[in-house]
Protein backbone atom coordinates (compact mmCIF):
# COMPACT_ATOMS: atom_id res chain seq x y z
CA UNK A 1 0.00 0.00 0.00
CA UNK A 2 1.21 3.55 -0.67
CA UNK A 3 2.30 5.57 2.32
CA UNK A 4 0.25 8.76 2.42
CA UNK A 5 3.17 10.57 4.06
CA UNK A 6 5.61 9.65 1.25
CA UNK A 7 5.34 12.30 -1.45
CA UNK A 8 6.92 9.92 -3.98
CA UNK A 9 4.45 7.07 -3.46
CA UNK A 10 1.32 6.91 -5.55
CA UNK A 11 -1.84 7.35 -3.50
CA UNK A 12 -4.87 5.07 -3.77
CA UNK A 13 -6.70 7.66 -5.87
CA UNK A 14 -3.70 8.02 -8.20
CA UNK A 15 -3.43 4.26 -8.70
CA UNK A 16 -7.13 3.96 -9.49
CA UNK A 17 -7.06 7.04 -11.74
CA UNK A 18 -4.16 5.66 -13.77
CA UNK A 19 -6.11 2.46 -14.40
CA UNK A 20 -9.32 4.33 -15.17
CA UNK A 21 -7.72 6.74 -17.63
CA UNK A 22 -6.16 3.88 -19.56
CA UNK A 23 -9.25 1.69 -19.73
CA UNK A 24 -10.49 0.99 -23.27
CA UNK A 25 -13.71 -0.65 -24.50
CA UNK A 26 -11.73 -3.75 -25.40
CA UNK A 27 -10.63 -4.11 -21.77
CA UNK A 28 -14.22 -4.56 -20.55
CA UNK A 29 -15.27 -8.23 -20.58
CA UNK A 30 -18.70 -9.21 -21.83
CA UNK A 31 -20.17 -10.09 -18.39
CA UNK A 32 -19.29 -6.58 -17.15
CA UNK A 33 -20.81 -5.04 -20.28
CA UNK A 34 -23.97 -7.03 -19.59
CA UNK A 35 -24.13 -5.65 -16.04
CA UNK A 36 -23.78 -2.10 -17.39
CA UNK A 37 -26.55 -2.61 -19.94
CA UNK A 38 -28.84 -3.97 -17.23
CA UNK A 39 -28.01 -1.01 -14.99
CA UNK A 40 -28.85 1.52 -17.69
CA UNK A 41 -32.16 -0.19 -18.50
CA UNK A 42 -33.01 -0.50 -14.80
CA UNK A 43 -32.20 3.13 -13.99
CA UNK A 44 -34.07 4.46 -17.02
CA UNK A 45 -37.17 2.47 -16.11
CA UNK A 46 -37.03 3.55 -12.48
CA UNK A 47 -36.69 7.21 -13.46
CA UNK A 48 -39.78 6.98 -15.63
CA UNK A 49 -41.67 5.09 -12.92
CA UNK A 50 -40.92 7.79 -10.34
CA UNK A 51 -41.36 10.77 -12.67
CA UNK A 52 -44.77 11.69 -11.26
CA UNK A 53 -43.83 11.48 -7.59
CA UNK A 54 -44.00 14.53 -5.33
CA UNK A 55 -40.37 14.33 -4.24
CA UNK A 56 -39.20 14.42 -7.88
CA UNK A 57 -41.40 17.43 -8.58
CA UNK A 58 -39.93 19.18 -5.56
CA UNK A 59 -36.37 18.65 -6.78
CA UNK A 60 -37.17 19.91 -10.29
CA UNK A 61 -39.01 22.95 -8.94
CA UNK A 62 -36.08 23.81 -6.69
CA UNK A 63 -33.66 23.99 -9.62
CA UNK A 64 -35.47 26.16 -12.14
CA UNK A 65 -34.13 26.91 -15.59
CA UNK A 66 -33.59 24.45 -18.41
CA UNK A 67 -30.81 22.81 -20.32
CA UNK A 68 -29.80 20.22 -22.91
CA UNK A 69 -29.68 17.15 -20.66
CA UNK A 70 -32.65 14.79 -20.47
CA UNK A 71 -34.76 14.34 -17.37
CA UNK A 72 -36.00 10.79 -17.91
CA UNK A 73 -39.78 10.76 -17.95
CA UNK A 74 -40.08 14.54 -18.43
CA UNK A 75 -40.32 16.83 -21.44
CA UNK A 76 -37.97 19.42 -19.96
CA UNK A 77 -34.20 19.28 -19.51
CA UNK A 78 -31.50 20.77 -17.30
CA UNK A 79 -27.75 21.23 -17.24
CA UNK A 80 -25.64 18.13 -16.62
CA UNK A 81 -25.42 18.53 -12.85
CA UNK A 82 -29.14 19.27 -12.54
CA UNK A 83 -30.11 16.29 -14.69
CA UNK A 84 -27.82 14.05 -12.65
CA UNK A 85 -29.51 15.28 -9.46
CA UNK A 86 -33.05 14.72 -10.72
CA UNK A 87 -32.42 11.39 -12.43
CA UNK A 88 -30.38 10.05 -9.50
CA UNK A 89 -33.11 10.99 -7.05
CA UNK A 90 -35.76 9.40 -9.28
CA UNK A 91 -33.74 6.22 -9.78
CA UNK A 92 -33.22 5.66 -6.06
CA UNK A 93 -36.53 7.02 -4.88
CA UNK A 94 -38.63 3.86 -4.94
CA UNK A 95 -35.79 1.61 -3.70
CA UNK A 96 -35.82 -0.89 -6.56
CA UNK A 97 -32.35 -0.01 -7.87
CA UNK A 98 -29.39 -2.40 -7.88
CA UNK A 99 -27.67 -3.23 -4.59
CA UNK A 100 -24.11 -4.23 -3.76
CA UNK A 101 -24.59 -6.13 -0.53
CA UNK A 102 -22.37 -6.02 2.53
CA UNK A 103 -21.94 -2.30 3.13
CA UNK A 104 -24.47 -1.96 1.24
CA UNK A 105 -24.76 0.61 -1.56
CA UNK A 106 -26.50 1.39 -4.85
CA UNK A 107 -24.07 2.15 -7.65
CA UNK A 108 -26.37 2.43 -10.65
CA UNK A 109 -28.56 5.23 -9.29
CA UNK A 110 -25.49 7.42 -8.83
CA UNK A 111 -23.13 6.57 -11.67
CA UNK A 112 -25.57 6.09 -14.55
CA UNK A 113 -27.32 9.49 -14.18
CA UNK A 114 -24.00 11.30 -13.75
CA UNK A 115 -22.31 9.70 -16.74
CA UNK A 116 -25.29 9.84 -19.10
CA UNK A 117 -25.98 13.50 -18.38
CA UNK A 118 -22.35 14.41 -18.93
CA UNK A 119 -22.07 12.41 -22.14
CA UNK A 120 -25.24 14.05 -23.44
CA UNK A 121 -23.95 17.52 -22.57
CA UNK A 122 -20.55 17.04 -24.18
CA UNK A 123 -21.53 14.79 -27.09
CA UNK A 124 -19.72 11.64 -26.00
CA UNK A 125 -20.48 8.24 -27.52
CA UNK A 126 -22.17 5.22 -26.01
CA UNK A 127 -18.82 3.41 -25.93
CA UNK A 128 -17.38 6.23 -23.84
CA UNK A 129 -20.43 6.20 -21.57
CA UNK A 130 -19.84 2.49 -20.98
CA UNK A 131 -16.30 3.22 -19.77
CA UNK A 132 -17.55 5.92 -17.43
CA UNK A 133 -20.18 3.65 -15.92
CA UNK A 134 -17.65 0.83 -15.49
CA UNK A 135 -15.07 3.07 -13.81
CA UNK A 136 -17.60 4.67 -11.46
CA UNK A 137 -19.47 1.52 -10.49
CA UNK A 138 -16.29 -0.51 -9.99
CA UNK A 139 -14.86 2.15 -7.67
CA UNK A 140 -18.05 2.28 -5.61
CA UNK A 141 -18.15 -1.50 -5.17
CA UNK A 142 -14.47 -1.64 -4.25
CA UNK A 143 -14.82 1.19 -1.74
CA UNK A 144 -17.70 -0.72 -0.16
CA UNK A 145 -15.25 -3.51 0.69
CA UNK A 146 -12.61 -1.31 2.35
CA UNK A 147 -14.37 -1.13 5.72
CA UNK A 148 -17.59 -3.18 5.51
CA UNK A 149 -20.55 -1.78 7.51
CA UNK A 150 -18.34 0.92 9.09
CA UNK A 151 -19.87 3.79 7.11
CA UNK A 152 -23.41 2.90 8.19
CA UNK A 153 -22.28 2.57 11.81
CA UNK A 154 -20.73 6.02 11.65
CA UNK A 155 -24.15 7.42 10.71
CA UNK A 156 -23.67 7.96 6.98
CA UNK A 157 -25.41 6.56 3.92
CA UNK A 158 -22.77 4.66 1.90
CA UNK A 159 -24.49 5.39 -1.41
CA UNK A 160 -24.33 9.10 -0.68
CA UNK A 161 -20.72 9.43 0.42
CA UNK A 162 -19.06 6.73 -1.69
CA UNK A 163 -21.25 7.75 -4.61
CA UNK A 164 -19.70 11.20 -4.93
CA UNK A 165 -16.27 9.68 -5.59
CA UNK A 166 -17.65 7.00 -7.89
CA UNK A 167 -19.52 9.55 -9.99
CA UNK A 168 -16.48 11.82 -10.15
CA UNK A 169 -14.29 8.98 -11.41
CA UNK A 170 -16.89 7.84 -13.94
CA UNK A 171 -17.52 11.31 -15.32
CA UNK A 172 -13.79 11.97 -15.47
CA UNK A 173 -13.21 8.84 -17.55
CA UNK A 174 -16.14 9.64 -19.83
CA UNK A 175 -14.66 13.07 -20.49
CA UNK A 176 -11.23 11.62 -21.23
CA UNK A 177 -9.51 13.22 -18.26
CA UNK A 178 -5.86 12.61 -17.48
CA UNK A 179 -4.94 10.55 -14.40
CA UNK A 180 -4.10 13.80 -12.60
CA UNK A 181 -7.52 15.27 -13.37
CA UNK A 182 -9.31 12.10 -12.23
CA UNK A 183 -7.24 12.15 -9.04
CA UNK A 184 -8.17 15.78 -8.45
CA UNK A 185 -11.83 14.91 -9.08
CA UNK A 186 -11.57 12.21 -6.39
CA UNK A 187 -10.11 14.74 -3.97
CA UNK A 188 -12.73 17.37 -4.71
CA UNK A 189 -15.58 14.87 -4.43
CA UNK A 190 -14.33 13.89 -0.97
CA UNK A 191 -15.21 17.39 0.21
CA UNK A 192 -18.58 17.35 -1.57
CA UNK A 193 -19.64 13.97 -0.16
CA UNK A 194 -22.43 14.02 2.41
CA UNK A 195 -25.56 12.19 3.56
CA UNK A 196 -26.56 11.19 7.09
CA UNK A 197 -28.99 8.34 7.76
CA UNK A 198 -31.30 10.22 10.12
CA UNK A 199 -34.03 9.66 7.53
CA UNK A 200 -34.49 6.37 9.39
CA UNK A 201 -36.13 8.29 12.24
CA UNK A 202 -39.16 9.49 10.30
CA UNK A 203 -39.08 8.02 6.81
CA UNK A 204 -38.65 11.42 5.17
CA UNK A 205 -37.41 12.10 1.66
CA UNK A 206 -33.69 12.72 2.19
CA UNK A 207 -32.61 9.15 1.45
CA UNK A 208 -34.12 9.52 -2.02
CA UNK A 209 -32.07 12.67 -2.56
CA UNK A 210 -28.75 11.05 -1.65
CA UNK A 211 -28.13 9.22 -4.92
CA UNK A 212 -28.97 12.29 -6.97
CA UNK A 213 -26.86 14.57 -4.81
CA UNK A 214 -23.89 12.21 -5.12
CA UNK A 215 -24.35 12.11 -8.90
CA UNK A 216 -24.47 15.91 -9.04
CA UNK A 217 -21.41 16.21 -6.80
CA UNK A 218 -19.47 13.85 -9.04
CA UNK A 219 -20.32 15.88 -12.13
CA UNK A 220 -19.27 19.12 -10.47
CA UNK A 221 -16.07 17.61 -9.06
CA UNK A 222 -15.02 16.29 -12.47
CA UNK A 223 -15.73 19.59 -14.19
CA UNK A 224 -13.81 21.50 -11.52
CA UNK A 225 -10.85 19.16 -12.00
CA UNK A 226 -11.01 19.61 -15.77
CA UNK A 227 -10.55 23.33 -15.24
CA UNK A 228 -7.50 22.98 -13.04
CA UNK A 229 -9.06 22.92 -9.57
CA UNK A 230 -6.86 20.83 -7.28
CA UNK A 231 -7.98 18.16 -4.80
CA UNK A 232 -5.96 16.15 -2.26
CA UNK A 233 -4.47 13.04 -3.82
CA UNK A 234 -4.64 11.17 -0.49
CA UNK A 235 -8.37 11.78 -0.17
CA UNK A 236 -9.06 8.08 0.44
CA UNK A 237 -6.34 6.92 2.83
CA UNK A 238 -5.07 10.20 4.27
CA UNK A 239 -4.90 11.11 7.94
CA UNK A 240 -7.98 13.29 7.48
CA UNK A 241 -9.31 11.43 4.45
CA UNK A 242 -12.55 9.76 3.44
CA UNK A 243 -12.51 6.74 5.73
CA UNK A 244 -11.28 8.79 8.68
CA UNK A 245 -14.32 11.03 8.23
CA UNK A 246 -17.04 8.60 7.21
CA UNK A 247 -16.26 5.20 8.77
CA UNK A 248 -16.56 3.90 12.33
CA UNK A 249 -13.05 3.90 13.87
CA UNK A 250 -13.38 0.33 15.19
CA UNK A 251 -12.89 -1.02 11.66
CA UNK A 252 -9.39 -0.86 10.14
CA UNK A 253 -9.71 0.03 6.44
CA UNK A 254 -8.14 -2.29 3.88
CA UNK A 255 -7.29 0.12 1.07
CA UNK A 256 -5.91 -2.71 -1.03
CA UNK A 257 -9.51 -3.59 -1.92
CA UNK A 258 -9.57 -0.54 -4.20
CA UNK A 259 -6.47 -1.27 -6.24
CA UNK A 260 -5.92 -5.04 -6.17
CA UNK A 261 -6.29 -6.89 -9.49
CA UNK A 262 -7.81 -3.96 -11.37
CA UNK A 263 -8.96 -5.15 -14.77
CA UNK A 264 -8.74 -8.80 -13.74
CA UNK A 265 -11.26 -8.98 -10.90
CA UNK A 266 -14.51 -7.09 -11.37
CA UNK A 267 -16.37 -6.35 -8.14
CA UNK A 268 -19.26 -4.69 -9.97
CA UNK A 269 -20.01 -7.92 -11.79
Each of the 269 residues of the chain gets a pLDDT tens digit; together they read 444 444 569 999 999 999 999 999 999 999 999 999 999 999 999 999 999 999 999 999 999 889 999 999 999 999 999 999 999 999 999 999 999 988 899 999 999 999 999 999 999 999 999 999 999 999 999 999 999 999 999 999 999 999 999 999 999 999 999 999 999 999 999 999 999 999 999 989 999 999 999 999 999 999 999 999 999 999 999 999 999 999 999 889 999 999 999 999 999 99
Within 8 A by CB and 6+ apart from 23, the residues are 131, 134, 135, 173, 263
125-180 pLDDT per residue, tens:
999 999 999 999 999 999 999 999 999 999 999 999 999 999 999 999 999 999 99
Say if CB 231 and CB 182 are below 8 A apart: no
The ranges assigned to domains in the chain are 12-259
Domain covering 12-259: architecture: Orthogonal Bundle (1.10)
Amino acid sequence: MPNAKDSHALSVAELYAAWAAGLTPGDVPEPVRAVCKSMVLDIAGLCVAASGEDYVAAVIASLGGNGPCTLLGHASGLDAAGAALVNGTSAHGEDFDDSFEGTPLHAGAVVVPAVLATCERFGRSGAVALLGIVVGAELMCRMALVAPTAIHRAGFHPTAVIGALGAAAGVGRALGHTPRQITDAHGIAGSLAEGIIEYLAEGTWTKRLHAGWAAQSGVRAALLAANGFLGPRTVIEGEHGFFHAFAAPAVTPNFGEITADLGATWRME
